Each structure stands twice: as C-alpha cells, then as structure tokens.
C-alpha cells in the first residue's frame, strides 16, 4: 500500500470516514481507492468474534477458547504463559479474519472492588508490564495486532464513562502509567486504546498531555491511538490531542464536527491527515484475509488447562492436600457444577469446549458421599457473575452469604475441609482459620475443571503466587473510604497501593503479595549483588517436582522476578538485572476537584441520575427495560450454556446502562441512538419538552460513507 499516494488522493469526506469506525468492530473501507476494512474483536483472554459482523451483545459470538483471565495468568509469574496464550488467540483470530485483538488490559489494581479487576494483571506495574508485553508479543508474532488498554487511570467501573481521576504526575508516572510504558517500549503494540474517564478534568480521548506528550514524545509510540467504544467527547479536540480512530463509529455528529472544522479552519488539515495516515498504516500492517486453517480446539483446550495449573495459588494447606487416591469425598458448593471460569462483560467468550470441575470428577468416576462417610470435604465457592462484572464495582469484599453459611456449617463436622475458590478479585475469608486448605483458581478458563482435579490429586503441583495483596478486611484498603462513590476519584494515597501501603504502614494482611504454597519445599539464599545484577540460588528441598519464583525487591518495590522449575534436590541460580531508573523527579501536587451538581441533567450525567425528574424516570425505565427483556428471555431458556450466557449478557447490559452517560451511549450506539436523540433525552429529563422535541426532529446531516457510494 503506497500510503502517501493514497493520502494525496483521499477527499476530506473520505478522511473523515477513515478515522471513524463502522459496523461496531470495523474501520471504514474506501472502495474507490482499494483501502480495505480492518476487523477488530474483543479479547484479552480469548476471542469474542461477534456473529453477523455487528454488536450482538456479549452472548452471541463464534466458538473460541476461553483462557485463564489476567488475574489468574499474572499469578503464574511466567510471561511464557501469556506469550503462549497470545499465540493461540492469534491463530483463532486469523481463522475468523480478525486483524486486531482488543487487549491486553494492564491497568493497576488500585482497589479490590473494581468490577473489572479480573481482566487486569496486578497491583504492581512491573509484573503487569511484563505479562502484558508477553501477550502482545505472542499475538503480534502470529500476525495479529494488539490494542493495549485502557489508557489510563481507568481503575473503577461505577463512573468509568464520565469519572474524573485526580492524581499527581508523580502518582501517574511512577505507578499507573508504568505498565503502559513498559509494554509500549518493549513490545510495540499496534494500537493503544484510550480510556473513557477524565484525568484531572480532561477526558482521555482529548488529553494531549497523555496521548501526545507522554505516549508519543516521551515513550516513542508510533502506532495508532483509538478510543474505547463510545469514549469520544469532542471529535475535533480529540484529533488535535493525538487521537486517531473513533470507535465504534457510525456517529454522524463526529463526521459533521470534522467536516465543519476543516471548512471553518478550527481543525487544521494536518491533524486530520496525521490520523488518517495512522489508520492506513494500521490497515497496511495487519489486514490479511482469513487463512481458513481449522483451529485445533483440542490443543488450545489442553493449553488452557496447562496455564490454569501453573497459575493456581495454594493459599493455605495444613496437610489436607494433595488428596489421597481413593479418598472418600463429600463435594459441596454451587461452583462445583456451575464453575465460574471467566468474567462477565465485553470479554465474555463462547467456549468451544468446556470442562467444569464436575465434568473432570465425573471423568474420574468420583462421586460425592454423605456430610458423615467422607474423609475430606471439598467446597467449591467464590464470586458469581451477580457479584463481579465489568460495568460496576462490587459493593463489598464479601463472598455470597449463602456460601459463608455453608462453609461454617461444614466446618462443624470435624472433618478436614478444603475450599476451592473461583473469582477475579480478593475476598474476605472469615473461615480461613477454620478450614484445612484453600486452593485459589481465580478465573481459570474453559478447562479449569481439568486443572483443579489434577492439582487437588497431586498430579500437578500448585506453583502460582499472588499478584495482588489479599487484605484481612476491606477497611484496610487505602482507598476504601472513597472508592467508586462519585464522579471524582481522588488518588489521595498516591503510590501507596497494594503491598507498598501494607508494608510501609505494617498493616497485617490475610495473604501478602507474592504468597503461594507448594506440595514441596524450597530454600532460597539471600540476594547477592554483583555490579548491576543480583543473584539468588533456589533449591528444591522436598520430595516433589515443583516451581518457585525468585522475587527481587529494591527500596520496597518489585525490581525483577523469574520462575524456576526444579526436581527434588535440584538447585538453580537466578540472575536478575533490574531496569535502570531514569531518576526524573515528578510533582506530587494534586488539585482536588469539587463535585459537579447532579442536576440539571447534562450529556455527561450518569444515566441513573435521570431518575431525579418525572420525565427522566420514564426515560430511565424505558431504556432499562431492554435489559429486563433480555433477563426474561434468558429465564425461558433450558438450563445450559446458552441460558447462562444470555443471563450474564443481560446482567452486564443492566450495569452498563446504569453507569453510562447520554453522550457515551450515543457515541457507542451510532445510528440507533444518534446525538440529537441524546440531546433530546437531556432536554426532556430537565423538563424542557419543546426543546426536547426539536432535538429529536432535527437529524444530523452528513455525506454518505464511501462504502455507501
């Protein structure tokens, strides 16, 4: 593709179309000049290629492999796992004709209640950066572009569409931007996706400091910057700030703003050209026809189990594990049969294969015996989709009450109790001192059942280590008092997040960052410094093959790590050379914004705020009825994956609608909810009936798209 020749032939209307998406997951083609359409799809832990090419909700997509989510993957402390997963996902992308996968997500886990933490790696920037870079390398080595997200300070869900993250430059540079910087410099992702939220009062999509000064000038990023779906606010301001591609597109108002801006001179042509050129470069680098090669779903299913085994964390073991062959087991807990293996939201995958814990036990001929005839009680517990999902933050750090009551009752039996946990984030564990073992699977992917059976019976040795701190109670979290409570998210704790905070202030935790047990034992020597490098020797002093992680901490921060696998009696010497620090001192000053009024309703108001007026309540109920209808449809389906997926999709839709703004809803919905409708809703909610009617009756006029000519 001769990009400069194409640029000289593109009309202004074609350039305006080129920097806008279409049909929800595609870029606009320019048929006149042979410019192809580029296809994107949700990730990051598997492919969600939607059917019929458009937005069909989270439950209608092509079969694909659901791998362990980032919360699990990071607990393996093994970038090779992320690289292998990226390679496998890329094979599935190429089969279905997907050119760019929307992932990985490397946002810092600031608070355990964030509803999307399952999709992020760690509270530590180095670990998150290393894992994210490995996934990008895996994807791009097989011909599929990656989209690094969500840039930046997107650390909560309740107000993610309009929230204002207020933080000092020191806090941002030394913590929240670090994983993005690492991935950009080490792995060179094809694209970076900007987040919905504001940073210090400026939306990420039009934040020139973030997109141009930091990303392009400081870090040298030369790829494409796109929005998250519906994250655009002012299209002209975004182009000037360095935002190339608006997704999902088909928002007529954005093309109108561009064309009007070029015509009246408020938008320099060079800004539009820069963005159009980056879209052409992206298409030239990554658009390839679907290769038609069949996907080896069995091999990918086996890989999913392999990764889940390597990432599971044995948090407690008083000798109850591994289970003895032939042991009589009483099996309890709602997640035994309905194993939660992936998160709820836009990354929800239609698994090509599925092996639950119940499936794996049945394959071994293992059946539950009564609360009185057993040797050991197994309880499968954890967070369900109702408690944890993209689109909203959790209300507390508790497990469902019914599960806690069941575990307490089983502990009264006097038999050994083993708890197997599923979920994307830490929970309070009031039963920790009562039970004999806790095996944390996080969200282990579609073959988590195979992995958990092998781990419980000692055919695999748990070797995961926590990539985040598990506090004793939520009140101990530094941002507990204010997190997710309003539009302004004040990062008052600075860089004191996770283990940095607990270690500095000597606050006891349930399980610390890096914690994890094994069925064997290890001895580690002290770190020895030799020039810029540090060495440590690890010896397997037990009777089983196992893996341990060498973790180097300098000045209270993780500076490097390496996982080693050792036979009994075997030793290995690890050498780590930390990344050099640039030594730049950043300002720790932060301006605390005042809370904006909730009324009158604006385009940036949270959708739930519409309920403050009579007309607003009617509009709110009408929109939420869409989710209610989906819930009713799900309830009519027979038990099985289709019903579960439909129900999860309805729950996610409800959360998204509640937390959305009229502006982002319009920018995401395209033709079905144009910008003038958003204006009309706003006016009606404020009691301005005539203004509302006028807005609804005043369509936005733009030229046809090039594909429609």
Q: So which residues are the catalytic ones?
A: 228
Residue 613 in 3-state DSSP? coil
Question: Treating both helix axes as pointing N-terminal to C-terminal, what angle do 297-311 and 448-456 enclose, rounded to 10 degrees?
Answer: 40
Return all residues near 365 (Cβ < 8 A) that are at least 6 apart: none
Question: What would the DSSP string read from start to end of 477-533?
Answer: STTTTTTTSSSEEE-TTTT--THHHHHHTT--EEE-TT--B-SS-EEEPPPEEETTE
Q: Which residues in 109-141 are b (16+ Cβ under 10 Å) and which e? A: bbbbbbbbbbbbbbbbbbbbbbbbbbbbbbbbe
Query: CA-to-CA distance for 484 and 611, rounded, in angstroms?
Result: 20
Whether omega for the bond prior to residue 278 falls within 30 degrees of 0, making it cis, is no
> Residue 368's CB: how many other CB atoms inside 10 A?
16
Host H or E run for residue 377: strand 376-382
Rounded alpha-carbon distances, angstroms, from residue 632 to 56, 490, 643, 678: 17, 39, 11, 27
Question: What would the DSSP string read from start to end of 79-125?
Answer: HHHHHHHHHHHHHHHHHHT--EEE--B------TT-TTGGGS--SSH
Q: Strand 40-42 to strand 100-102: parallel, antiparallel, or no bridges (unpaired)?
A: parallel
Backbone angles phi, psi at 548, to 5 degrees: -135, 160
Query: CA-to-CA distance for 197 and 159, rounded, in angstroms?
Result: 8
In a 10 Å sphere around its CB, with 0-12 CB exposed, 13-18 middle and 19+ buried, how is residue 554 labelled? Answer: middle
The answer to whether the beta carbons of residues 369 and 459 sit under 8 Å apart is: no
The answer to whether the beta carbons of residues 152 and 183 sit under 8 Å apart is: no
Residue 219 in 3-state DSSP? coil
Return all residues near 418 (Cβ < 8 A) that are at least 6 apart: 320, 321, 323, 376, 377, 378, 379, 435, 436, 437, 438, 439, 456
Query: CA-to-CA distance for 221 and 207, rounded, in angstroms?
Result: 16
Our measurement of the distance from residue 265's CA atom to the centroid of its chain's CA atoms, rounded to an integer in Å, reads 39
CA nearest 311: which of 63, 585, 78, 545? Answer: 78
CA nearest 231: which of 607, 660, 701, 597? Answer: 660
Query: CA-to-CA distance for 202 and 7, rounded, in angstroms?
Result: 31
Rounded alpha-carbon distances, angstroms, from residue 381 to 311, 444, 445, 469, 568: 18, 14, 16, 20, 33
CA nearest 250: which of 615, 669, 588? Answer: 669
Question: Treating both helix axes as pointing N-terminal to C-terminal, what angle do 79-96 and 297-311 enclose, rounded to 10 degrees?
Answer: 160
Host H or E run for residue 534: strand 533-540
Whether omega for the bond prior to residue 150 falls within 30 degrees of 0, making it cis, is yes
CA nearest 346: which of 60, 670, 632, 667? Answer: 60
């Amino acid at each position: 593709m001769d990009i400069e020749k194409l640029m000289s032939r593109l009309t202004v209307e074609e350039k305006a179309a080129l920097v806008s998406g279409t049909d929800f997951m595609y870029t606009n083609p320019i048929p006149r000049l042979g410019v192809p359409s580029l296809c994107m799809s949700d990730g990051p832990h598997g492919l969600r290629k939607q059917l019929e090419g458009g937005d069909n909700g989270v439950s209608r997509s092509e079969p694909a492999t659901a791998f362990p989510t980032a919360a699990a993957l990071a607990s393996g402390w093994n970038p090779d796992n992320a690289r292998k997963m990226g390679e496998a996902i890329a094979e599935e992308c190429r089969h279905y004709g997907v050119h760019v996968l929307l992932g990985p997500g490397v946002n810092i886990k600031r608070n355990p209640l964030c509803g999307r933490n399952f999709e992020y790696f760690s509270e530590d920037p180095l670990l998150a950066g290393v894992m994210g870079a490995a996934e990008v390398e895996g994807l791009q080595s097989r011909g599929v572009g990656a989209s690094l997200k969500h840039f930046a300070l997107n650390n909560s869900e309740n107000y993610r569409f309009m929230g204002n993250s207020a933080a000092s430059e020191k806090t941002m540079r030394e913590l929240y931007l670090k994983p993005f910087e690492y991935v950009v410099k080490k792995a060179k992702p094809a694209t970076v996706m900007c987040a919905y939220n504001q940073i210090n009062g400026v939306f990420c999509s039009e934040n020139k400091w973030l997109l141009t000064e930091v990303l392009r000038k400081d870090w040298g990023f030369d790829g494409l910057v796109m929005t998250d779906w519906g994250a655009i606010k002012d299209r002209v301001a975004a182009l000037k700030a360095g935002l190339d591609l608006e997704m999902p597109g088909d928002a007529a108002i954005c093309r109108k703003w561009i064309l009007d801006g070029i015509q009246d001179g408020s938008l320099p042509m060079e800004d539009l050209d820069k963005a159009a050129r980056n879209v052409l470069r992206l298409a030239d680098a990554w658009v390839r026809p679907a290769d038609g090669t069949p996907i080896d779903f069995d091999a990918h299913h086996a890989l999913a189990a392999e990764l889940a085994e390597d990432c599971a964390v044995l948090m407690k073991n008083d000798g109850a594990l591994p289970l003895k062959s032939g042991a009589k087991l009483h099996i309890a807990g709602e997640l035994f049969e309905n194993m939660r293996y992936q998160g709820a939201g836009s990354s929800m995958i239609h698994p090509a294969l599925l092996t639950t814990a119940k499936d794996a036990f049945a394959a071994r001929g293992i059946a539950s015996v009564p609360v009185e005839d057993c040797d050991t009680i197994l309880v499968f517990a954890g967070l369900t989709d109702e408690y944890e999902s993209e689109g909203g933050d959790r209300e507390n750090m508790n497990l469902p009450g019914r599960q806690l009551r069941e575990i307490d009752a089983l502990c009264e039996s006097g038999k050994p109790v083993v708890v197997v946990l599923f979920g994307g984030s830490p929970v309070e564990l009031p039963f920790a001192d009562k039970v004999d073992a806790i095996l944390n699977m996080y969200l282990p992917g579609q073959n988590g059942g195979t992995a958990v059976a092998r781990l419980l019976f000692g055919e695999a040795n748990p070797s995961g280590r926590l990539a985040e701190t598990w506090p004793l109670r939520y009140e101990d979290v530094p941002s507990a008092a204010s997190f997710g409570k309003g539009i302004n998210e004040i990062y008052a704790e600075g860089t004191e997040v996770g283990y940095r905070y607990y270690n500095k202030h000597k606050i006891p935790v349930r399980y610390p960052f890096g914690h994890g047990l094994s069925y064997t034992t290890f001895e580690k020597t002290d770190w020895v410094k030799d020039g810029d490098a540090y060495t440590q020797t690890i010896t397997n002093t037990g009777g089983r093959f196992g893996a341990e992680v060498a973790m180097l901490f300098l000045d209270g921060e993780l500076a490097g790590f390496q996982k080693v696998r050792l036979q009994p009696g075997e030793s290995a010497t690890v050498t780590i050379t930390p990344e050099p620090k640039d030594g730049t001192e950043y300002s720790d000053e932060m301006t605390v914004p005042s809370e904006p009024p909730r009324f009158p309703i604006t385009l940036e108001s949270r959708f739930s705020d519409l309920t403050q007026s009579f007309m607003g309540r009617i509009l709110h109920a009408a929109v939420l009825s869409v989710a209610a209808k989906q819930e009713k449809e799900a309830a009519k389906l027979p038990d099985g994956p289709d019903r579960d997926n439909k129900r999860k999709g309805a729950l996610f839709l409800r959360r998204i609608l509640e937390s959305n703004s009229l502006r982002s809803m319009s920018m995401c919905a395209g033709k079905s909810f144009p910008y003038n409708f958003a204006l009309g809703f706003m006016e009606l909610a404020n009691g301005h009936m005539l203004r509302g009617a006028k807005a609804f009756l005043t369509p936005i006029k733009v030229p046809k798209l090039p594909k429609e000519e």
